[in-house]
Amino acid sequence: MILIVAEHSAGKLAKSTLEMVTAARDSGREGPVTVLVLGQNVAPIATEAAAVADQVLVADLPVLATYNAEAWAAATTQIAGEGEAHTVIIGGSRSGREFAPRVAVKLDAPYLEDATSLKANGAALQAQRYTYLARVTETVEAEGPVVVVTVKPGSFEAAAPAGEAGEQYDVELTLPASRVEVTGRSVEKSSRVALTEADVIVTGGRGVGNAENFSKYVEGLADALGAGVGATRAVVDAGWRPYAEQVGQTGKTVQPGAYIALGVSGAVQHLSGMGKSKNIIAINKDAEAPIFKVADYGIVGDINEIVPALIEASKR
Amino acid sequence: MNILTLIRQVPDAEARVKINSQAVDLDGTTLVMDGMDEYGVEEALRLREGGAPIEQIIALAIGPKRNEDALRTALAMGVDRAIHVETDEKFDAVTLSKVVAQVAQAENVQLILVGGQEADWDSQALGAASAERLGWPQLTWTNELKLDGGTLTGRHDVDDGNESFRAELPAVVSTQQGLNEPRYPTLPNIMKAKKKELRKDDAASYGLQNRVRTVNAEIQTRARRNTMIDGKDPQAAAARLLELLRSEAKVIA
Ligand SMILES: Cc1cc2nc3c(=O)[nH]c(=O)nc-3n(C[C@H](O)[C@H](O)[C@H](O)COP(=O)(O)OP(=O)(O)OC[C@H]3O[C@@H](n4cnc5c(N)ncnc54)[C@H](O)[C@@H]3O)c2cc1C
């Protein structure tokens, strides 16, 4: 079987889980597509998963109330072993890429990390992934009785419900207690659409000038377009915006339909997080700014003049 | 106790990456110690400077000869000695974690520091896989770290925000921006580093077997439209851009 570990938050199945189902179905690997739901009070999530999967395994346990790498790895390994999974698919989120290597070691399996495509090549599983700050696409492959994969969010279409819902089964697990004690949590909430799910993103760089202008121009344009808000590291370092909005090597990776960069120079570390956007739009007063090299549409001009005009025009 | 910091020598961010016979070719490319790993080296030095009873800070690199330069940089920053497991074979991160685990045990290491995501293979797996092999907990994407006796406290990023944590050593910590500002090696320290030990280990003695084959590598070139609009008349430029986004790119309604 192909085992997928569901990603979910706030009682809902994440879009990434639906993407993993597509990755599994399109991979050419055989066997039922099985979704494993780990957590507490996850019945509604299991039902959502059953709509797209052949079967759903549910571990509803207090020790799984919050994610931790050791419990998630142990749970996934037990189920993969019992179900004789030949492919284990885990989300390419922070947490997924944190516990997946542990699963690979426990199963003594090869690990294909952060795949953007997946296909069977004889007995092997072949994947593409980005390397060298996302400047290179490498094709890698591995084979074994079982292969562990993480899938990069946004790389596959979300699976739509089709046919009959899959059966749900409860599973028994013995899990280790986490040795990391969480002493505080801060959830970065945004009233706007989440960066990794947004179809349009407006990002501000240092060229926006200051925190006040960032609200006026970047948030102003985002609201006019119903877009998510992103920031460069320079902006986050300056304290104008929270780290949750940072796009780039050490921030989020996004690939929206349109990425609008305001006063962003286009450093490689920033490009590595947004260079795969379908359309890149750049506004910068320096005609030589590297961001223009990757832009589909560019305006050479001053943020202070162009953006108010854009907000005005997009409201019409 | 001893700290192990893991290091890779990677292309400078601004350097061009080229492909030769379907693989990345770093010949003639400017290489530097990975910025993410620098945070790890710096943090180890700061923990010691902050009074933690750290006997030795050991830098470990696994890979081709060029990694010596990164190890020399780490020595010049202040680590005590370096180990280079030299190999020209390109091993995947989970396989390399075997070396890390064996070195950590042989060197009586209690804490491993590693970059959150390396700039050559864009992987986050080395720290986590090493932790699993050793049976240790791990803290990834750490941007604040304190060590008191055998207790680590700090803060790290998680999927939807950040968490403060407490954990007992031994542990693996992966680093990221915000943790510290790495120091530059001074000239006297660069001179001193030349006398420090840089031990060469034979990769064959670690029993490595590559599990992931690289079939192909390509530079990402995505054709971009590069339609430039003059911004001298802001209203006209704004109208033109919106029109293009609606009719040509079809990304807004
Ligand atoms: C290890 C490491 C990791 C990193 N990770 C990230 C990351 O995840 N994300 C990230 O973004 N960066 C990252 N960086 C930093 C990156 O190298 C750049 O420093 C950063 O992206 C620059 O941000 P910026 O474009 O906002 O600022 P700048 O480089 O200062 O560019 C500002 C731009 O605004 C333009 N401008 C100025 N005024 C105006 C105006 N009035 N109107 C129009 N245009 C104007 C300027 O021409 C310039 O091009 C990382 C760096 C390192 C070393």
- Please report residues of B whose CB lies closer than 8 A to that of A102: 128-129, 131-132
Rounded Cα–Cα distance for residues B52 and B99 (Å): 26
Q: Which whole number is the average pLDDT over B228-248?
A: 94
Strand partners, A35: A4, A56
- Please list, in sequence order, all residues whose beta carbon lies within 8 angstroms of the beta carbon of residue B188, skipping any fewer than 6 positions away: none
Among A231, A235, A177, residue whose Cα is nearest residue A210: A235
Q: Which whole number is the average pLDDT over B214-231?
A: 91
**For chain A, what percentages of helix, strand and coil (3-state, to nearest 5) are there?**
30, 30, 40
Rounded Cα–Cα distance for residues A199 and A279 (Å): 11
Q: Report the residue from B132, B153, B213 with minimal CB separation from A106.
A: B132
First to last CA, chain B: 61
**pLDDT above 80 for A189:** no
State chain A's mean pLDDT as an integer: 95
Find the angle CA(B35)-CA(A101)-CA(B136) to the nearest 5 degrees.
Answer: 85
Q: Dump pLDDT digits (tens) for A64-113.
A: 999 999 999 999 999 999 999 999 999 999 999 999 999 999 999 999 99
Among A21, A259, A292, residue whose Cα is nearest residue A158: A21
- Residue appearing with tokens 């960069």: A261
Helix (H, G, I), strand (E, B) or coil at B145: strand
Strand partners, A184: B164
Burial A224-256 (b: 16+ CB within 10 A, else e): bbebbbbbbbbbbeeebbebbbbbbbbbbbbbb
- Residue A197's pLDDT is 80
Q: Mutating which of B124, B134, B153 best tests the A interface, going by the most A Cβ atoms within 10 A?
A: B124
First to last CA, chain A: 53
| Residue A34 · residue A55 · CB < 8 Å | yes
Q: Mutating which of A135, A217, A221, A291 best tests the B interface, going by the most B Cβ atoms within 10 A?
A: A135
The band of A163, judged by pLDDT with boundaries at 50, 70 and 90, is confident
pTM of the predicted model over 0.80: yes
Helix (H, G, I), strand (E, B) or coil at B101: helix
| Residue A171 · residue A111 · CB < 8 Å | no
Q: Which whole number is the average pLDDT over A204-216?
A: 97
**pLDDT above 80 for A219:** yes
Rounded Cα–Cα distance for residues B114 and B95 (Å): 16
Q: Is the CB of A153 inside a 6 Å radius of any atom of ligand 1?
A: no
Token pair, residue A114, equals 């952060």
Among B241, B246, B227, B223, residue whose Cα is nearest residue A278: B223
What ligand 1 atom has the least distance to the C-alpha of A265? 49
Rounded Cα–Cα distance for residues B46 and B43 (Å): 5
- Residue A213's pLDDT is 97
Q: Which whole number is the average pLDDT over A30-50?
A: 97
**pLDDT above 80 for A316:** no
- Helix (H) or strand (E) run with residue B213 in it: strand B213-219
Q: Dump pLDDT digits (tens) for B144-203.
A: 999 999 999 999 999 888 999 999 999 999 999 899 999 999 999 999 999 999 999 999
Integer angstrom CA distances of residue A116 from A131, A135, B46, B123: 12, 14, 38, 14
Strand partners, A186: B162
Among A187, A229, A189, residue whose Cα is nearest residue A208: A229
Rounded Cα–Cα distance for residues B144 and B156 (Å): 7
**pLDDT above 80 for A191:** no
Q: Which mutation among A195, A206, A252 tests ligand 1's pocket best, with the greatest number of atoms within 8 A of CB?
A: A206
- Residue B100's pLDDT is 98
- Residue A142's pLDDT is 98
User: Which one has a higher pLDDT value, B40 or A197?
Assistant: B40
Among B160, B156, B118, B159, residue whose Cα is nearest residue B137: B156
